Structure 1
Amino acid sequence: MNGRPYRGMSAEERLAERRERLICAAYTLYSDPGFPETTIERLCATARISNRAFYECFSGRTELMRALHERCVQEAVSAVAKAVEEAPDTLLGRVEAGITEYINFVTEDRRRARIMHLEVRRAGDCLTTSRQQAVRAFARIVAAGALGPPDTVGVNRHLLTLGMIGAVHELLIEWVLAEDPPPVSDLVGTAVHIFHRSFAT
């Protein structure tokens, strides 16, 4: 790639700008029509770059999905951690704050919900590691004491945490796929009930 400045931008800045345009295009196209249906040609047309420029940014559609998914997860983790930190210093207060923030953050843009909870799975086994990293990131928030002391219940706390995260995932899948999605407030209420009952003494 030519390293000379072009239109006031260095080669590195041009690359970063193209990557960002592709991530923005993927944010829309990977949610509708979906990851399997989105071709590199369509991504390039939406981002207004050439196919050659695409491969200067990403090795393929899957690497682009990984970058998009990881950004969504990082933003969600930051939002949840902040909400938990600012929540009332009680078990239920932290539970309600963390769950409410996560579900509201994910559902405020249906594209985000679909990418994080459906399309990343449709991208195939090659993104299993990315999904597992996301689960571990949220599990660390719980393990740090966000939802109560380690001896709150008489079962394996780590496995219980994974089960609770899985429950929220399924609620969001239902919201994404349902012809008549349940109100977001119902998702929050159900998730809070599950978490609180599971971690209660």
Structure 2
Amino acid sequence: MSSPTRWAGVPLADRRAERRSRLIDAAFDIFGTDGEAALSVRSVCRACDFNTRYFYESFADIGELLGATYDRTATALAETLDDRLAETGSSVHARTRAGIVTVLGFSTADPRCGRVLFTEAQANPVLIQRRSTTQELLRRATLVEALTHETDPLDGRIRAAMFTGAMTALVQQWLDGSLGDDLDAVADHAMSILTP
């Protein structure tokens, strides 16, 4: 286990921040690779070579750690999406396609990301709440995009709701392999349905 001298000379706040980050790294790897059943205080501490007291200085329980792991992964996706959309023109078609490609690509570039964000532990209350919040943020972002280009506000709200639900299902189908492995083809088919 981690020895006290390992942290000698490091300010307390920095030590705690580093340990917290390493615990999230370990949880991301364990949960993203082996699933919820493999994630425990013991498995995470073993992966970090930490005493369990270091776990409890940052997290009340494994659910709180799982929430932090989800949040960090979702933030990385949001930043990737923002960067991609910043490079994309103002065309609704181009921005929608870029969004689809970015979300699907992010979720498969590191399969652990897709597992944390979309597929693993569908009944876990922490992830249900986090995924619901993320879906609502996506709906609002889509609504802003839609209302920028739509004259009918109700039409924009309906499009945003449908797109948000469809994207979640699309990512899950993409990750389980049922849509093949051609990302561009999937994006093209999705766009033909969304914008006939």
TM-score range, shorter chain: 0.7 to 0.9
Structure-2 change in CA distance of 1:143 and 1:81 (3 Å): farther
State the match for 1:3 in structure 2: none
| Cα contact 1:95–1:146 (8 A) shared by 2 | no
Aligned to 2:125: 125
- Runs of 4+ off more than 4 Å: none
Pair 181,48 (structure 1): closer, same or farther in 2 beyond 3 Å: farther
Q: Specify whether residues 33 and 89 from structure 1 end up closer, same or farther in structure 2 by C-alpha distance, changes over 3 A only.
A: same
1:179 Cα deviation from its structure 2 partner: 8.0
2:64 aligned with 1:63, yes or no? Answer: yes
Matched residue of 2:104: which SS?
A: helix
With 57-66 and 133-142 compared, the bigger mean Cα shift is at 133-142
Q: Measured at CA, do residues 39 and 154 of structure 1 come closer, stay the same or move farther in structure 2, by a change above 3 Å?
A: closer
Aligned residues: 191
- 1:87 deviation in Å? 1.1
**Distance in 2, Cα, partners of 1:72 & 1:144:** 23
Query: Displacement, 1:115?
Result: 0.6
Q: Which amino acid aligns with 2:59?
A: F
**Aligned-pair distance for 1:112?**
0.2
Amino-acid identity (%): 23
- What residue identity is the alignment partner of 2:159? L
Q: CA deviation at 1:106?
A: 2.0
Cα distance, 1:59 vs. partner?
1.0
Matched residue, 1:135: 135
Residues in 1 aligned to 2:39 and 2:127: alpha-carbon distance in whole angstroms: 17
User: Corresponding residue for 2:186?
Assistant: 187
**Aligned partners of 1:67, 1:10: CA distance in 2, in Å?**
23
Measured in 1, the distance between the counterparts of 2:129 and 2:150 equals 27
Residue 167 (structure 2) aligns with: 168
5+ unaligned residues in a row in structure 1: which ranges?
A: 1-5
Q: CA contact under 8 A between 1:81 and 1:141: conserved in structure 2?
A: no
- The answer on whether the counterparts of 1:164 and 1:194 sit within 8 Å (CA) in structure 2 is no
Distance 2:91 2:104 in 1: 20
The TM-score normalised by the length of structure 1 is: 0.81
Question: Do the aligned residues in 1 keep the contact of 2:80 with 2:102 (CA within 8 Å)?
Answer: yes
How many Å apart are 1:153 and its aligned residue?
8.5
Residue 181 of structure 1, CA deviation? 5.0
Contact preservation (8 Å) 2:35, 2:121: no
Gap regions ≥5 residues in structure 2: 1-6
Report the counterpart of residue 101 of structure 1 in structure 2. 102
